[in-house]
Amino acid sequence: MKLLKMTILLMGIGLLPTAQALADKPCSVQALAGHWVFATGIGRQALGAPFPPGKDITAVGVMAITKDGNFSGHFDATVQDSFFLPGNAYTGSMTINPDCTGTVTFTTSVGTTRLDSIVVVSRSEILGMSQDPLNLWTYQVRRISSKPADDDDD
C-alpha cells in the first residue's frame, strides 16, 4: 500500500510541470469560442429614454462567441421601479490580450452601445465591467458549451 501511495505521489509531482504549462498558456479569443451565460450585478444606469434616470438595472442572458472574437446573444433586463425588458438582442466583438485582459464592444437592439473591460479568469469564466462612468455595471460570464459558435451551422 505504501508503494502505491508513493507511486501516485511521484506521478503527481511529475505532472506538475505539465499542469503549470497549461495554466501559463496565454489567453486568446479562440480559446473562448463557444456558448456562454451571464448575469450582471445591480448596476446604475443613465442610458436615456426610455430608461428613467438614476434607476438601478440588472440583466441575465446568453452569448455565442466565434473563433474570431465576434459574438451575439440576447438578454432580459429589469429597471428598478420601472419595467422589464425581455429578449433584447446584441452583437459585438472582443479583443483578448495574452495577459487575459481585454475589451468587448457591443450594440443592443435597445440602441445602446457599450465598451467594457474584461478579465478572463479561466477558459470557463470571464468577469467584466463597463468603462462608462455614467453606467456602472459588473458581470460574470460562464461557459455552458465549448462547441465554437462558428460550428453551429454544421
Domains of the chain, each with CATH number or no CATH: 29-149 (2.40.128.120)
Predicted confidence band of residue 2 (pLDDT cuts 50, 70, 90): low
Is residue 147 pLDDT above 90, yes or no? no
Predicted confidence band of residue 15 (pLDDT cuts 50, 70, 90): very low
What are the φ/ψ torsions at residue 149 (nearest 5 degrees)?
Answer: -60, -25
Is residue 151 pLDDT above 80, yes or no? no
pTM of the model: 0.78
Instruction: Report angle CA 95, 103, 90 to the nearest 5 degrees.
Output: 95
Question: Percent of the chain, pLDDT > 90?
Answer: 63
- Give the residue with greater pLDDT, 54 vs 89: 89
Predicted confidence band of residue 66 (pLDDT cuts 50, 70, 90): very high
Is residue 11 pLDDT above 80, yes or no? no
| Average pLDDT of the segment spanning 90-118 | 95
Q: Is the peptide bond before 50 cis (omega within 30 degrees of 0)?
A: yes
Cβ-proximal residues to 8 (8 Å cutoff; 6+ apart), any chain: none
Report the mean per-residue pLDDT for the chain: 85
**For 107-134, how does the pLDDT look when each residue is reduced to its tens digit (9 = 90+)?**
999 888 999 999 999 999 999 999 998 8
Question: CB-based burial of residue 94 (10 Å sphere; 0-12 exposed, 13-18 middle, 19+ buried)?
Answer: buried
Question: Residue 21's pLDDT is what?
Answer: 36
Question: Residue 22's pLDDT is what?
Answer: 36
Is residue 4 pLDDT above 50, yes or no? no
The owner of cell 462567441 is 65
